[in-house]
Amino acid sequence: MAATMKKGVAAEDVNVTFEDQQKINKFARNTNRMSELKDEIEAKKVNGWFEMHSSLHFVQADADQTLFMQKSLQNLEDASDDLMMCEDDALLIPYQIGDVFISHSQEETQEMLEAAKEALQDEIKALEGRVSSIQGLLGDLKVQLYAKFGNNINLEADES
């Protein structure tokens, strides 16, 4: 989705100043950043977070922030649902922190899952806020660049 000058029919010859080039570069950088943020949001909503062991999900809480960010909201909800269907309340659920499994009661594990879901939802909201602000900035840059270059520049996303 890069800003490109259209070739072919040019209605007029427009000089590209240093300031114009800076705006075009800023548009391209922010477009790429927005795409990365959208991918990160999707990863948080969809990517797997749990390791399967037999029929039991081992909940994994990693101290490493980057790994935590890749955790899946959907899988947190699935694990929470699986935990609720567990018939044996006395069963200890192994919860992984780093390389160590710590056994917790079903209730404690449920609370940990809820806390993880809330944290992930907060992270997703923050990322969506950043995407929204970038979209506003891109809208302003589009207005400025189209005002100067008209049909001689293409700032629309390539659908390839």
Q: What would the pLDDT profile of 19-42 be if each residue is shown by its tens digit? A: 999 999 999 999 999 999 998 888
In angstroms, the CA 62 to CA 80 distance is 18
SS3 154: strand
Model confidence pLDDT, tens digit, residues 45-70: 765 333 322 223 333 333 233 334 44
Q: Which domain holds residue 53?
A: 18-149
Assigned domain for 2 exists: no
Residue 56 lies in a domain: yes
Residue 138 covered by a domain: yes
Say which amino acid occupies 58: F
Length of the chain: 160
CATH of the domain at 117: 1.10.287.370
Instruction: Give domain status of residue 133, yes or no.
Output: yes
What is each CA distance from 156 to 58, 62, 65, 146, 151, in whole angstroms? 44, 39, 34, 11, 11
| The token pair that represents 136 in the structure block | 């506003």
98 domain residue, yes or no: yes
Contact 131, 34 (CB under 8 A): yes
Answer yes or no: is 1 within a domain: no
Query: Global pTM?
Result: 0.67
Answer whether residue 148 shows pLDDT above 70: yes
Please indicate, yes or no, if residue 119 is contained in any of the structural domains.
yes
Domain count, the chain: 1
Determine the Cα–Cα distance for residues 124 and 40; give it in Å rounded to an integer.
9
* Burial class of 17 by CB neighbour count within 10 A (0 to 12, 13 to 18, 19+): exposed
| 3-class state of residue 90 by DSSP | coil
Distance CA 31, CA 33 (A): 5
- Asked whether residue 5 is domain-assigned, the answer is no
